[in-house]
Structure 1
């Protein structure tokens, strides 16, 4: 079972704390099975939550056993995070755990140093303070949440619901996420003036890394048919060196990285346009719609048609994409 640990620190915001507890605990699979076990943990057995005190069953060791760790916001984002907490979060991340923050929980995640060089968000009121305190993070106050793969951040209040539903969709597909959304009386993707933007779930690459220009070109040219030799030549290196740098800097192969970039671009086109699936397949570099559908389902967990039905952006001019590159 997938263990979700929710970290409660003194001053925790009750809404942020309750959101992942309620959303993940209520998820059910098609066979009625319960895919998540939620554990609330804290440095000590009691937590001061302002208007009340929490008695917490789990200690920090729960972080090391977790598959996903959720960091709710605290009333005072400027508070110092105990070093013991930061150490446990770093160890959990090194062990492969997924870390997600809600609202001002981004300040706790940022204090670990894990967000350095990545894009992140938080409540718009605290965005400037987060950027000033952690200049190595690219803070975007305009978005609901940012997905960097292993590390995710969300804006305030209801954006925590958006993030939790997004994680469920990543884990179990659109159908399970849609059921969770209905239980929360929440749409899977909210309409309104604030466009939802999800950073592609590619392995993060440190800024200034030798592959950064090549990766940027690959993201901007997903429709171009290329070979390993083509990529190596564009990067000014041998194929062997290209493969080695990809492993060192992204943790994957050039082909797998490119496939994910193509599928992420396809997701944007499915959400933001009325183009036929066959046309989108060609636009993102697949030679046949069948190959595209197969790869899309393997990576996303559902078919392109089902994805579009679940996440099509309403009240949007189909000729214009809301994606910001």
Structure 2
């Protein structure tokens, strides 16, 4: 038999095996994303991945959230035990952790919390890129029992997902069973990444939203690194350039902020935000005449930023008057 025919029949056999498993497991329509994968495996995703270097922390009772976070934080390079994370993420009154706390905690450690789009294919792409993914499951046999686990692998041939879960360092679930538990929480999933490393499935908007969350965590230097990496990935991004310049300015790196804004001005010469912020930064550097000439280019009474421009112009003019009076 020719090699192409062998591959065709092997693939057909795998699909038939999956279909039989789905039918034996109940109504196939109850696992729509698994069915979609059966018909079309995501392009470019290997058929088998297992991230063996992902750490494992057996969870204490009800504390799967801290254990899952310690797992993905550890893989991202942050040493944190579940016990150290309990106070940050675990709610005793609920005997569990809410998604809000799960997203917020990594930011306190200089990491980006990236919420995935609710798609099985995106989960597979992140794991294939080397990013373990925290998922929220309902594992209760009758009543809801919410549980966080970490997906660290999958195998197309057997239709299996591999997880760090509970007291199991390597839990294996069928795609069907996994989707049934995962879909109950709206297919909620998150990856935790260093700010320099964008998620594999990130779009410009979704990654900048994630960086805004990191900024709220208060780590200015990590935020600067994140925006710098984002600008490298999306060099035409105006929000990335403005975000980077703003955080450089906040960290006291005024000359670097001005350089970033000059680059943004070349790409977006009509941007009122860039003109205003560059004028402000130049004035903060003591270059008031240059700043005043620049802010005049931003004059547009119809702009939604007209009041900000007026305030910047007035501040520059006041600094000029103070400088002249001091001579």
- Give the structure-1-normalised TM-score: 0.27
TM-score (norm 2): 0.27
More helix per residue: 2
